[in-house]
Amino acid sequence: MLFRKDNSSHGHDPETPDGTLVAGPPEAETGSVLTVDCAAIVRNWKKLSNHAAPAECAAVVKADAYGCGLEPVTQALHAAGCQTFFVAHIAEARQLRDALADVTIYVANGIPAGEAHVFAEINAEPVIGNLAELAEWDAFRAGSKWEGGAALHFDTGMNRLGLDINEAAAIAERTKVQNHGISLVMSHFAASDEPGHPFNAHQVQALRDIRQLFPHIPASLANSSGIFLGASAHFDIVRPGIALYGGNPTPWTDNPMEPAVELKARIVQTRTIPDGATVGYNTTWTARRPTRVAIATTGYADGYPRPAGTSDTLTGGFAMVGGQRCPVIGRVSMDLLAIDVTDVPDQTNGKRRGDVVTLLGDGITIDDLAGWGRTISWDILTRLGKRCHRVWKN
């Protein structure tokens, strides 16, 4: 990631004079600004950590910390006390190790064939999910004398990654020798966002049974929503992801987390259209009155969901313009979207070329945007910001 010193510099100094980090194209040269509040992410982590205590609270930072920026997010979390991080791929682990020298890094997708040696090079730990990986890891450790650890992921019903639970007893025999190299036993919830789902209790019990075979090794099951299922789900380490970044881990009630991401875009043109005129591709939205339309410089190429515009038959999303919620209308284009600003006073920000509107933040949450886009907040976050001017606040 190329950090910039200010909006015009092309240097590599990551901080502005006030300590704010910036990256991506200069603000004047791109269509939108994505701001990540690292202090809010830290506060969310602390809240989750307190809720799960005495279990350790790790942080899931795969996919560039859910699109929020791996280096600034992990450095802020580490400064707050987070010592354990989960990523998906070796490349992410390598990037994280370059940023932080003294943390534990687990690579959830395991060992690519023939790549066990990389874990020793960067001092990361694979999450092993099948016997072929385990055999490769054993052979590497024996041949190299590497004494680094690995996690064992047992499938308790997700039927995605993981060792068969029937293999647990045989694998547990290895823990009777010194330097066995197993540092964590874990599984993954399939329905923790539904607190009454009977499968949650099934998975908790399954991991409890497995843990008895590995009595001196930490265990982990809870993701963001799992943390709120109660102490029985916490085990020794919890692994929040989406909740760190402001997503609601308790969709059955109000969101206990702080918003951490804001997306703003510039207005490049406004126009008044008559009653009966249409907006956007395929004429999906029709004006029912003379309408003032503002065109903002963000679209689905920036991660704003294409289905989020209001049509004649479906209610879509909103943008904040001058403190008012204004409908996003018509189909979202690759680089542009349209906003009905008819009811915004003429001299208000958002009515003129060069004004700024808020697409995420100021009361619009990532869960709101996900709902309008008929997707999930994970999808929204990981798609945002690839060509935005990006700002990290501490």
Rounded mean pLDDT of 291-304?
Answer: 96
- pLDDT given at position 5: 41
Rounded mean pLDDT of 33-58?
Answer: 98
Give the range among 25-34, 45-54, 227-236, 274-283 with minimum mean pLDDT.
Answer: 25-34
CB within 8 A of 223, min separation 6: which ones? 60, 188, 189, 192, 238, 239, 240, 241
- pLDDT given at position 16: 56
Checking if the pLDDT of 19 tops 80, the result is no
Per-residue pLDDT band at 367 (split at 50, 70, 90): very high
CB 259 within 8 A of CB 230: no
- For residue 151, the tally of other CB atoms under 10 A from its CB is 24
Q: Which helix (H) or strand (E) holds 77?
A: helix 70-80
Please give the share of the chain, as a percent, with pLDDT higher than 90: 89
Per-residue pLDDT band at 179 (split at 50, 70, 90): confident
How much helix, strand and coil, in percent to the nearest 5, is found in the chain? 30, 25, 45
Checking if the pLDDT of 6 tops 60, the result is no
DSSP, collapsed to helix, strand or coil, labels residue 339 as strand
Checking if the pLDDT of 334 tops 60, the result is yes
Rounded mean pLDDT of 34-41?
Answer: 97
Give me 315's structure tokens: 């209610």
The predicted model scores a pTM of: 0.93
pLDDT tens-digit map of 225-245: 999 999 999 999 999 999 999
User: Which domains, ranges and CATH numbers included, belong to the chain?
Assistant: 3-30 (no CATH), 38-245 (3.20.20.10), 261-393 (2.40.37.10)
CB 261 within 8 A of CB 383: no
- pLDDT given at position 220: 98
Rounded mean pLDDT of 171-177?
Answer: 89
Exposure letters 240-260 (e unless 16+ CB within 10 A, then b): bbbbbbbbbbbeeeebebebb
- pLDDT given at position 12: 33
- pLDDT given at position 9: 35
Cα–Cα dist 246/259, whole Å: 4
Rounded mean pLDDT of 269-290?
Answer: 97
Q: What is the DSSP string of 359-379?
A: EEBTTB-HHHHHHHTTS-HHH
Q: What is the DSSP letter of 258?
A: P
Rounded mean pLDDT of 27-33?
Answer: 93
- pLDDT given at position 18: 59
Greater pLDDT, 394 or 128: 128
> Any idea which residues carry the catalytic annotation?
62, 281
- pLDDT given at position 386: 83
Label each residue of 140-208 as H, E or C. HHHHHCCCCCEEEEEECCCCCCCEEHHHHHHHHHHHHCCCCCEEEEECCCCCCCCCCCHHHHHHHHHHH
Checking if the pLDDT of 26 tops 60, the result is yes
- pLDDT given at position 4: 44
Q: Which helix (H) or strand (E) holds 296?
A: strand 291-296
pLDDT tens-digit map of 50-80: 999 999 999 999 999 999 999 999 999 999 9
Checking if the pLDDT of 105 tops 60, the result is yes
Per-residue pLDDT band at 326 (split at 50, 70, 90): very high
pLDDT tens-digit map of 120-155: 999 999 999 999 999 999 999 999 999 999 999 999
Q: Which residue has the tokens 């009905």?
A: 340
DSSP, collapsed to helix, strand or coil, labels residue 294 as strand
Give me 38's structure tokens: 């690292």
Checking if the pLDDT of 93 tops 70, the result is yes
Cα–Cα dist 298/300, whole Å: 7
Cα–Cα dist 150/110, whole Å: 9
Q: What is the DSSP letter of 131?
A: H
Greater pLDDT, 281 or 7: 281
Q: What is the DSSP string of 35-72?
A: EEEHHHHHHHHHHHHHHHTTSEE-EE-HHHHHTT-HHH
